[in-house]
Amino acid sequence: MRGTKFVRTRAIVAIVTAFLFVAAACGGDEESVSEAQRSTGPIKIWYSNNPEEIEWGKQVVNAWNKEHPDEEVTGQEIPAGETSEEVIAAAITAGNTPCLVFNTAPAAVPQFDRAGGLVNLAEFEDGVSYIEERSGDRAAQYGYPEGEYNQMPWKANPVMIFYNKDLFKKAGLDPENPPLATYDEFLAASQALVDKGGVQAAIWPAPSSEFFQSWFDFYPMFIAQTGSGQLVEDGQAQFNNEDGVAVAEFWRQMYEEGLAQQETYNGDAFADQKSAMATVGPWAIAVYGEDIDWGVSPVPTQDGIAPEETYTFSDEKSIGMYTSCENQGTAWEFLKYATSEENDGLFLEISGQMPMRTDIIGTYSEYFEKNPEYEVFAEQAERTVEVPMVSGSIEMWQEFRNAYSASVIFREEDIQPAFDSAAETINGLVEEGS
Amino acid sequence: MAVAARPPRRLINRIAGRHPVGVAFAAPYMIFLVVIYAYPIILAIYMSFHDYFFAAPGAHVDRPFIGLDNYITAFEDPAFRRALFNVVVFLVINVPLTVGLALVLASALNTALPFRTFFRASYYLPYVTASVALIGVWLWLFNSDGLVNAIIGEAGPDPTWLVNRFWAMPIIALFATWKQLGFYVLVYLAALQNVPQELYDAAAVDGAGKLRSFQHVTVPGVRSATTLVIILATIVGANFFTEPYLLTGGGGPNGASISPVLLMYQEGIEQNKPGYAAAIGVILAIGVVVVSLVNRFLLERD
C-alpha cells in the first residue's frame, strides 16, 4: 500500500515538474536585435485615449498607410488600466507590446528598460542625430550618460498655474496681473480666494499617495525654485536642501491654513469651481476653455523671478519602441514620420500640446498667430525639466511621495527629518541601481 | 487459515487506484487546481526567495536567490507592520459585527415579518452591487461636506472621517461589514431552516421568552453556520483591498488605512518588486490559515 502511494506521489511530482518546465519553456526564443532593426512589414502602435490624440493618431496612421501599403500600421488606444505604465509593464511581461507606444512616461523608462522591454534607439544609424536635432539640448534629459536613448522625447505639457478669472475678481484680485509670483503673494491670494471667492480650496492638487502626484505640486515649484534642478542629480537627492524645504514649507502652510485640501476631490475641482487654480499644461485650454474665463501664470518661487527665467516640470510623454516588435525598421521609419515637422504641427493643432522640438513658436508661427493663448505654454516649453533618468525611478518617487504626505499634507512629521530620511533611502536606491 | 496470494496489481491501478476512470473524471478539476492555484502558489513562493522582477520573454535578466531577505524586509517595513495592524483592527470590528448583525437580521427575516421579501432583497443588494459604485455613495456620505457631517455638524472629527488617522480604518471596516452582510444573512437563513420548531416549542413550554429562545435555541442551532461565517469573514477580511484603494485614496491618510493586499499591489505592480510582494502574500496566507485553524479549533470543540 505504501508502495502504491509512493508511485502515485512520484507520478504527481513528475506531472507538476513537467508542467513547470513547459511553462518555463514558454519564454520564447530571442531574435537577433540587428536583424529586427532592419526588418520591415506591418506594425502595431498604441496611442493615448483622449479624443484629441486619438484623432491625431488616426490621421497619421491613415496617411502613412496610403503611402506604405506593404508596411501597414495598425493603431489603437492603450488598453484600459489604472495607469498606462501598468498596462505597458504587463504587456512587456506577456511579450505582446506593440512596436510603438505614443505615451511612454519617462519615469517608467528605467523600469521598462530593466525588464528588457525597450529598444535602444541610439542603435539605429540616425537614431541619436534625429532625436537631438529635433529636441535640441533638452534631449539629453531623456538619454543615459552612456549615450543610450531608450525613448524618443515626443511632447510636453509644461506645468503652469491655470486660474479662474471670475473667481479672482470675486476675491478682489486683479485677474489680468494676479499676485502669484512669490510664496507670500500666493498664500495671500489663496486666503482671499477661500475667504471671498467662495471656493473650498484655492488650489486642489491630488493629496493621494500615488508616486506621480508630486509632479503636480512639489516638483514644478522645486524646479522653479532651484532654477532647473532635478529631484536627484549626480546620484544624490537634492530635495532636502534649502530650496526643497522652502517649497515643502510653502505647501505645508497651504494645507495647514485650509487653502489646499487633504481630501481627494471626486471629480474635477477646478471645473466644478471648488478651487480657483490648478497646476496644468496646455491641454487644459481645450478642456476648460469654453466654460471658464481663464488665465495662466508661471509657478511661484520664494522671492519671485521673471517668467522668462522660470523653469517648470515638462509633464512630457515619450515614444517607446518595444523589443517584441518584429519589424523595427518600419517602426523607426514610422516614428520619424509621426514626429516630422508636418505631423508635429498637426499634433499641435489638434491637441494644443507642445511637440518636443526646438523653436516651436518660430516653426508654427501661423498656428500661434491664430491661437495666441497657447503661446505662453510654448514659451514655457522651452524651459522644462524632466524626472531624473535613474534606476528605480518609480520606487524613488514613491519614497519621496511618502515623505511628502507625512510631513507636508498630513503634517505628522517635521519636513527636514522626513526629507533627510527619504533622501538617504533614495541615495541608496540610486547607488544600488547604478 | 490460509490466505490466498493477491494477484500483482497492474501499473495503471498502482498509479490511479482501483478505478482509473475516476481519475479521468477528476482530471479536469485537478488540472484547473494545478494551473490556477498550485502553479501560482509555487511560483509566488519561489519569487519570494529571489530578487524577482517582471521581464520580457526571452530577456536575459538576473534574479538572484536572496534567501529570507524579502521576509526580513517585510517585517522591518513600517508600512507592512501598519498593514498587519490594520488587518487586526478590521477583523476586530468586522467579524463580531458581521456575526452579530447577520444572525439577528436572519432571525428577524425568518419570522413572519411584513415586507419580508423586500427586506431580504434590500440586505442582499449591496453584496451584488459593484464596490466602485457603493464607494462613490460612501464618499458622498463621509466627505467633509458630505451627508454625515451635514447632519452632525460640528460634532464631526477634524480632520474629517476619511482623512482622519483614527476613523479611516473603522469606516472601511463598517463599509465592508455592510457590503458583505447580505451574503452572511443568507447563510444564516439557510441554517435557521434546520433548527427544529419543536425546540422553540419546548423552550416556550419551559417559560423561555424570545430573547432566551434566541440565546439557547437559535445560537447553538446555527453553530456550524457561525463557524463558516467567522472563517469566511476572516479570510475575506484579511484580503481587503478595494476599500482602502478607493475609499481612502490608496490607503490614506498617509498610509493609515493601508492593507497587506494593497501594499502587495503597490510594491508588486506599481514598483515592479514582485519578489517582495510575493513574500507579503506568503506571510498573509500563512497568517490567514493559522487564524482560520485557531477559529475552527475554538468553535468546533465540544
**Chain A stretch 331-350, residues whose beta carbon is closer than 8 A to a beta carbon of chain B:** none
| A156, B98, B114, B134, B192 from B124: Cα distances, Å | 49, 14, 17, 13, 17
* Residue B17 Rama label (left phi>0; alpha psi -120 to 50; beta): left
Q: What are the helix (H) ranges across A213-288?
A: 218-226, 242-256, 283-288
Q: How many helices (H) and strands (E) does chain A have?
A: 18, 14
State the Cα–Cα distance between residues A393 and B280, nearest whole angstrom. 22
Task: Considering only the beta carbons, identify the residue of B34, B54, B143 that sits closest to A115.
Answer: B54
pLDDT of residue B83: 96
CA distance, residue A113 to nearest chain B CA (Å):
9
Interface pTM, i.e. ipTM: 0.81
Amino acid in position A98: P
Task: Considering only the beta carbons, identify the residue of A28, A86, A395 that sits closest to B57.
Answer: A28
Is residue B235 within 8 A of residue B183, CB to CB? The reply is no
Is residue B160 within 8 A of residue A258, CB to CB? The reply is no
- Rounded to an integer, the average pLDDT of A195-205 is 96
Mutate to test the interface with A, among B46, B247, B270 (most CBs of A within 10 A): B270
- Rounded to an integer, the average pLDDT of B130-156 is 91
CA distance, residue B31 to nearest chain A CA (Å):
10
Q: Note the pTM of the prediction, 2 decimals.
A: 0.86
Angle of CA points B172, B175, B176, to nearest 5° = 85
State the Cα–Cα distance between residues A266 and A27, nearest whole angstrom. 42
Q: Which helix (H) or strand (E) holds B225?
A: helix B223-238
Contact B249 A23 (CB under 8 A): no
Does residue A114 belong to the interface with chain B, where contact is any CB pair within 8 Å? Answer: yes
Q: What is the DSSP string of B157-221?
A: -SS-GGG-TTTHHHHHHHHHHHHHHHHHHHHHHHHHTTS-HHHHHHHHHTT--HHHHIIIIIHHH
Assigned CATH class of B69-300: mainly alpha
**CB-CB neighbors (< 8 A) of A402 in chain B:** 254-255
pLDDT of residue A4: 47
Rg of chain A taking only CA atoms, in angstroms: 24
Contact B56 A323 (CB under 8 A): yes
Asked if pLDDT for residue B141 goes beyond 80, the answer is: yes
Mean pLDDT score of chain B: 90
Q: What is the pLDDT of residues A9-62, one digit of tens each?
A: 454 444 444 444 444 444 344 445 577 788 999 999 999 999 999 999 999 999
In the block, cell 502669484 appears at A180
- Rounded to an integer, the average pLDDT of A99-128 is 94
Q: Looking at A364-378, B3-17, B154-168, B265-279, which range is the least confident one?
A: B3-17
Chain B: residue nearest A255 by CA? B159
Is residue B139 within 8 A of residue B244, CB to CB? The reply is no
B259: CB partners within 8 A, 6+ apart: B83, B86, B87, B90, B240, B241, B243, B244, B251
Q: What is the pLDDT of residues A389-412, one digit of tens each?
A: 998 899 999 999 999 999 999 999
Q: Would you list the domain boundaries of chain B?
A: 69-300
State the Cα–Cα distance between residues A87 and A35, nearest whole angstrom. 27
Structural domains present in chain A: 33-156+316-379 (3.40.190.10), 160-314+391-433 (3.40.190.10)
**CB-CB neighbors (< 8 A) of A210 in chain B:** 250, 270
**CB-CB neighbors (< 8 A) of B271 in chain A:** 211, 394-395, 398
Q: What band does A6 get if pLDDT is binned at 50, 70 and 90?
A: very low
